[in-house]
Amino acid sequence: MTIITQSIERATRLGLSVVSIALAITGLHSPAQAQANYPDKPIRLVVPYTPGGGADTNSRMLAQPMSAILGQPIVIENRPGASGVVGAMAVLQAPADGYTVFFDAFPYAVNAVMRDLPFDPVKDMIPVSQAINMPLILVVPAASPFKTVKDLVDYAKANPNKLDYGSYGAGGAAHLAAELLQRDAGIKWTHVPYKGGAQAIADVLAGRLGGYFSNPITALPHLKSGKLRALGTTGATRMEALPEVPTLEELGYPGFRVVEWNGFFVAKGTPSSAIERLAKTINEATKDPAVKARMGSMGIEPVGNTPEQFTTFLNGEIKQWRALVQSNNIRAD
C-alpha cells in the first residue's frame, strides 16, 4: 500500500472529504489563497477597438509599466465591433476573476443612453480606474475667417445651418461637443458625419468643412504646421500642448467639458482584492515619468484614480449625455 493510499484511508476514517484530501496531498490553493497571490498568471486586456487607434495606443502605453509592476504579462486583445459591445460581451462571458480586464472609452457612457445593449453598463461592469483624459480642440481651416469662438458663434447665429461641422458618427465625442455648443450658444449648424476622424480632418484641412472638434493626437501636428487654427479646447484647464488656447469655459460656457476618456473595467463579481490591486497598479503606471512625458506631448492627461472616483466620473458622464441627447433629440446611427 502506498503512502498516499494510507493517507487517504486515515483521512477517510477521520471524516475528511475527498476534496479536502486532494487539497492536502496536492497542495492546491483555495480561492482566497489564489486571490492573495493575484496575479499569478497573464492578464488579458480586451480593447474593443482596432489596433493603432487612440484607445489601443493608450492601452499599450499603460500595459507595459503595469506588467512590470504586477510581474505578469498583460496580453492585449482587440475585439472591435458594435461601438464596444463585442469587446464588453467577451469580458462578461469570461470568469470574473480579475484576469480578463476591459479597456473602454468615451462611447461606453454614451451607449448607456443612446443604444439598446445586451448588458447593463452600470450594473454589469465595475469601474476600476480612469486611465486618461483627452480634451478636444475646436479647429477650423487656416484660411477660415473665424479667429475666435465668438466669431464662429456670431456667424452661426446670423446664418442658421449654413455652417457645417464634422464628426466620426452620431454619439461620438466630436458630435456631442458640437451639439453641446449648439445648445449652450443658441446656434444652429449642420452635422456632417464621416466614417472616421481621418476623413473629417482631411475636409477641414481642405477648407470643405467649417469646424471640427478634433482630438489632440490628430490635430496637433496640423496646428503646429499652421494648416489648422485652434479656437478653443474642452477640458477643465488649458492644454499643456496648447497653453495659448483658451477653454470653452473660459470663453463663457460654464460646464462645457468634453473629454475622450479611457478607463479600466472588470465584470461584476470580480474579487475586491483584485480590483484594488489593479487600481493601485493603474495609478502607479499613470505616474510613470516616461508615460507622462509621452502622453503630455500628445495632448493626453494621465489620470489614475480609485474605483469610487471613476464611478462618480462615469455617473456624471452618463447624466450629462442623457440630458443632451434628450434636449437636442439626438439619435444613434
Residue 315, pLDDT above cutoff 70: yes
221 shares a domain with 141: yes
233 forms beta bridges with 137, 247
Q: Which residues contact 114 (CB under 8 A, 6 or more apart)?
A: 170, 171, 321, 325, 330, 331, 332
Does any domain span residue 251? Answer: no
In whole angstroms, give the CA distance from residue 291 to residue 249: 28
pLDDT at 239: 92
Does any domain span residue 12? Answer: no
pLDDT at 130: 98
- All cell numbers assigned to 67: 506588467
Task: Give 297's pLDDT tier (boundaries 50, 70, 90).
Answer: confident
Does any domain span residue 181? Answer: yes
128 shares a domain with 142: no
130 shares a domain with 148: no
Helices (H) and strands (E) in the chain, counts: 13, 11
Task: Give 197's pLDDT tier (boundaries 50, 70, 90).
Answer: confident
Of the three residues 214, 233, 252, the one that is the final residue of a domain is 233
Of the three residues 233, 250, 283, the one that is the final residue of a domain is 233
Lowest-confidence pick of 21-30, 93-102, 283-292: 21-30
141 shares a domain with 130: no
Residue type, 182: Q
What average pLDDT does the structure give for the chain? 90
Mean pLDDT of 290-314: 94
For residue range 63-90, what is the model confidence (pLDDT) as tens digits?
999 999 999 999 999 999 988 999 999 9
Mean pLDDT of 199-218: 94
pLDDT at 308: 98
For residue range 121-173, what is the model confidence (pLDDT) as tens digits?
999 999 999 999 999 999 999 999 999 999 999 999 999 999 999 998 888 89
144 shares a domain with 123: no
Lowest-confidence pick of 9-23, 120-134, 241-255, 258-272: 9-23
Residue 125 and residue 276 in contact, taking contact as beta carbons nearer than 8 Å? no
Residue 26, pLDDT above cutoff 80: no
Does any domain span residue 316? Answer: yes
- All cell numbers assigned to 301: 492627461
60 shares a domain with 109: yes
307 shares a domain with 229: no
Does any domain span residue 165? Answer: yes
CATH code for the domain in which residue 149 is found: 3.40.190.10
- Written as one string, the DSSP assignment of 179-220 is HHHHHHHT---EEEE-SSHHHHHHHHHTT-SSEEEE-HHHHH
pLDDT at 333: 64
Q: What percent of the chain has pLDDT over 70?
A: 89
Residue 21, pLDDT above cutoff 80: no
Q: How many domains would you assign to the chain? A: 2
Of the three residues 191, 218, 233, the one that is the final residue of a domain is 233
91 shares a domain with 166: no
pTM for this model (two decimals): 0.83
Full residue range of the structural domain in which residue 271 is found: 40-134+260-327
142 shares a domain with 62: no
Lowest-confidence pick of 22-26, 88-92, 238-242, 252-256: 22-26
155 shares a domain with 106: no
140 forms beta bridges with 229
- All cell numbers assigned to 12: 477517510
46 shares a domain with 125: yes
pLDDT at 35: 63
pLDDT at 3: 45
CA distances from residue 122 to 207, 267, 314 in whole angstroms, order as listed: 41, 11, 9
For residue range 29-64, what is the model confidence (pLDDT) as tens digits?
455 555 678 999 999 999 999 888 888 999 999 999
CATH code for the domain in which residue 59 is found: 3.40.190.150
Task: Give 195's pLDDT tier (boundaries 50, 70, 90).
Answer: confident
pLDDT at 50: 87
227 shares a domain with 153: yes
In whole angstroms, give the CA distance from residue 221 to residue 327: 35
Residue type, 143: A
pLDDT at 1: 47
